[in-house]
Amino acid sequence: MTTPDKPINFIQQIINADIEAGQVGRVVTRFPPEPNGYLHIGHAKAICVNFGLAQEYGGHCHLRFDDTNPESESEEFVQAIIEDVRWLGFQWHGDVRYASSYFVQLYTWATYLVQQNLAYVCELNAQQMRDYRGTLTEGGKDSPHRDRPAEESLTLLEEMKQGSIDEGRMTLRAKIDMQSPNINLRDPVLYRVKKLVHHRTGSDWNIYPSYDFAHGQEDAIEGVTHSICTLEFAANRPLYNWFIEQLPVPSKPRQYEFGRLKVNYMVTSKRKLKLLIDQGHVDGWDDPRMPTLSGMRRRGVTPRAIRNFCDSLAVAKTDGVVDIGQLEHFIRDDLNRDARRAMCVLDPIKLLIANYPAEKHESFNAAVHPNREDMGTRELHFSRHLWIDRSDFSEDSSLSRKKYKRLVLGDYVRLRGAYVVRADQVVKDQQGNLVEIHASLVPDTVGANPPEGCKPRGVIHWVCADRSIECTVHRYDRLFSQPLANSAEQSFADCLNPHSLDVIKNCQAEAALADARVGEHYQFEREGYFCLDSGAGTDGELVFNCTIGLRDTWQK
């Protein structure tokens, strides 16, 4: 589908070796989002990698919610994530899975660890635990409760579970090594008390497992063979393995890490995205300016463009920042191939064809797509009164033909799909503002070259004033004016582009656009790619979102 001989990445090499060594029968991967926000472009890569690997090796990929912390998780996010994964074009194997489905098993394993003297209930509070943990360069101190009898820990753990222990008072910790140079191994927390209602288990639990204690075991339960995550979890791998070794788990998954996708001018942090919403900088998770899958969908980005983009990215251990231009390339590439062509005048000014009878009307057939006859034709209406874009006309006849390929007073231009016309005179109001252009058409130039000596400067789009439909166009600019690369973390809110949304009212679109449907993509010729907005529009207003402008390579 993509590059025929794309190099094999390091994970594929590992899988190949595993298969060759007979270590792995069927490859099983998983995409494990926490339902505490919407999916964004960064998740798209993880989805493509995990589902892609399963597809490639004829294996399975699970969709599993890592819902171990009810604090910020919700059913709304679960549903949104499910919809986004489907929209991106992937189907998980079997039912949607949840970490919360394994809570009982996880708890059983926790008691097993206590019985093996590998875990204990600790009564240090958060601050004390921090103090006991040591620092990056110095080891920590053993908790005073580290050697309490297993029976006592078991009783306390049961009390935590029953809800008789207050939040923050106790935790269940693994007994590993407080001197370990890897801080994750300094007796990590397995369970903490959280008296919260969980969106799936309700009030069944007063304690919830930590990520470290849950993730690997979830993988083991599901028979995941290759648990692929991002680089920041590399330091957790020894802990992941420790649980898999100590516990009687049904399978032994392995964790591999690759570089998380970052794109400049975009934020891919759920916390920051949430902030943008909470502070009112955008309308919501699906605001077309958001790098969320739902935002991009509403903006008009196709799932295939996102997939192609992700497939073009390497699965490697370097963590770079991809230029947003690369994403844009795949968006244009996909839209160019399939988008229906149409004309829409964003800043209309009247063009009166003086030598065309007032009562006359013609219609021409124009290709829906210039390079694809199979997409058929559409009907273009033509009459004496037309709309063209203000920026496509100039009174300055000294403008060179090379520099200005549009309509100039006294010169010719081609009306796309229709006649060649010449601008003859200009009508202005009291203030001297241009209100109308009078032109004359060159006969017999529809679908035919003009006579010798008549050289149109270029081609401009237009719309028949009698049949056009009014619409609103939303044009977007990047949400941030700074690349926000790497650690430009500081105050990302200060980098917001105040002009990220441009609402253009009273645009004039060709009649065929009255049939536009949500989910269809259009190219407004000479402008860009657009789609009908799926969000607002209850008042019958026709709103088109600009997905992305056409590539624009001429210097002004």
Partner RNA sequence: UGGGGCGUCGCCAAGUGGUUAAGGCAACGGGUUUUGAUCCCGUCAUUCGGAGGUUCGACUCCUCCCGCCCCAGCCA
Q: Is the separation of the CB atoms in 205 and 198 below 8 Å?
A: yes
Q: What CA–CA distances, in Å, run from 173 to 70, 139, 209?
A: 20, 17, 11
Site for RNA in 51-70 (CB under 7 A): 66, 68-69
Among residue numbers 318 through 347, which ones bind RNA (CB under 7 A)? 318-323, 325-326, 328-329, 332-333, 336, 341
Q: Which long-range contacts (CB under 8 A, 24 or more apart) does 527-530 make?
A: 527/344, 527/346, 527/461, 529/300, 529/331, 529/332, 529/335, 529/339, 530/300, 530/344, 530/473
Residue 317 touching RNA (CB under 7 A): yes
Catalytic, out of 260, 272, 390, 416: 260
Please state the closest distance from residue 537 (CB atom) to RNA, in A. Answer: 26
If the CB atoms of residues 304 and 369 are measured against RNA, the closer one turns out to be 369
The whole-angstrom separation of Cα 210 and Cα 207 is: 10
Alpha helices in 134-173 (DSSP H): 150-162
Taking CB under 7 A as the binding criterion, the range among 40-48, 181-189, 473-481, 511-519 that sits at the site for RNA is 181-189
What distance in Å separates the CA atoms of residue 147 and residue 516, rounded to the nearest whole number?
70
Q: How distant is the alpha carbon of residue 80 from its chain centre? A: 13
Q: Measured between alpha carbons, how far is 286 from 277 in angstroms, rounded to an integer? A: 10
Q: Select 161 or 287, whichever has its Cβ closest to RNA.
A: 161
Residue ranges in 255-284 that form contacts with RNA under rule CB under 7 A: 259
Is 71 tagged catalytic?
no
Element (H, E) at 42: helix 41-56
Residue window 390-419: x/- pattern of binding to RNA, with contact defined by CB under 7 A: ------------xxxxx-------x-xxx-
Tokens 């191994």 identify what position? 185
What is the total count of residues that contact RNA (CB under 7 A)?
97
- Rounded distance between C-alpha atoms, residue 33 and residue 10, angstroms: 23
Residue 125 sits in the site that holds RNA (CB under 7 A): yes
270 in active site: yes
Tell me whether residue 121 or residue 287 sits nearer to RNA (CB atom): 121
Buried b (16+ CB within 10 A) or exposed e, 202-219: eeebbbbbbbbbbbbbbb
Specify the stretch interacting with RNA by CB under 7 A; choose among 77-85, 128-136, 281-289, 531-539: 128-136
Give the separation between CA 189 and CA 174, rounded to whole angstroms.
7
Among 163, 168, 250, 443, binds RNA (CB under 7 A): 168
373 contributes a contact to RNA by CB under 7 A:
no
β-strands 393-394, 407-408: how paired? parallel
CB 410 within 8 A of CB 393: no
The stretch among 40-48, 51-59, 317-325, 467-475 that binds RNA (CB under 7 A) is 317-325
| 260 in catalytic set | yes
Work out how close the CB of 426 gets to RNA at its nearest, in angstroms, rounded to a whole number: 19
Quick one: DSSP state of residue 409? B
Kindly state whether residue 452 participates in binding RNA, applying the rule CB under 7 A: no
Of 217-256, which residues contact RNA (CB under 7 A)? 231-236
Asked whether the beta carbons of 74 and 41 are under 8 A apart, the reply is: no
Q: Which stretch binds RNA (CB under 7 A): 16-24, 188-196, 197-205, 355-363?
A: 188-196
Q: Which stretch binds RNA (CB under 7 A): 74-82, 169-177, 275-283, 381-389?
A: 169-177
Closest contact distance (angstroms) between CB of 187 and RNA is 9
Shortest CB 251 distance to RNA, Å: 20
Alpha-carbon distance 458 to 406, whole Å? 5
Considering only residues 498 to 537 of the shown chain, the ones binding RNA according to CB under 7 A are: 523, 525-526
91 forms part of the interface with RNA (CB under 7 A): no
Active site residue ranges: 34, 260, 270
